[in-house]
């Protein structure tokens, strides 16, 4: 959910790109509290340290948090669970 102003809420859902799915699959086998990210240089400034465009954090063996950012603006965060055999992951 993204909150704008006092009483308005916009429900947003992001889907994973192929590159992001690879990170989530890798994260599944790593210890809890591990963070993986996709970071790129800022296209507007050569001197700044932009936010990671995609960040995934393993909460525990069953769940993780994903965040999609812009270079200078924090973005949407969503919680997911690692799926059982046959499915990858689900919200």
What's the rounded mean pLDDT across residues 75-86? 80
Q: What pLDDT, on the 0 to 100 scale, is given for residue 83?
A: 77
Contact 83, 60 (CB under 8 A): no
Buried b (16+ CB within 10 A) or exposed e, 11-44: eeeeebeeebeebbeebeeeeeeeebebeeeeee
Give yes or no for residue 36 having a pLDDT over 60: yes
Determine the Cα–Cα distance for residues 29 and 81; give it in Å rounded to an integer.
Answer: 14
In the block, residue with structure tokens 């200078």: 72
Higher-scoring residue by pLDDT: 22, 86: 22
Q: What pLDDT, on the 0 to 100 scale, is given for residue 16?
A: 87
Which of 23-27, 72-76, 87-91 is predicted with the least confidence, judged by mean pLDDT?
87-91
Q: What pLDDT, on the 0 to 100 scale, is given for residue 87?
A: 46
What's the rounded mean pLDDT across residues 54-81? 94
Note the maximum CA span of the chain.
Answer: 45
Contact 14, 6 (CB under 8 A): no
Q: What pLDDT, on the 0 to 100 scale, is given for residue 73?
A: 92
């Amino acid at each position: 959910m993204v909150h704008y102003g006092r009483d308005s809420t916009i429900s947003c859902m992001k889907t994973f790109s192929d590159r992001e799915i690879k990170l989530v699959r890798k994260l599944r086998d790593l210890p809890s509290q591990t963070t993986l990210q996709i970071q790129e240089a800022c296209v507007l400034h050569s001197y700044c340290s932009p936010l990671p465009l995609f960040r995934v954090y393993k909460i525990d063996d069953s769940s993780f948090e994903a965040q999609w950012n812009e270079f200078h603006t924090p973005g949407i965060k969503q919680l997911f669970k690692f799926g059982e055999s046959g499915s990858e992951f689900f919200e």
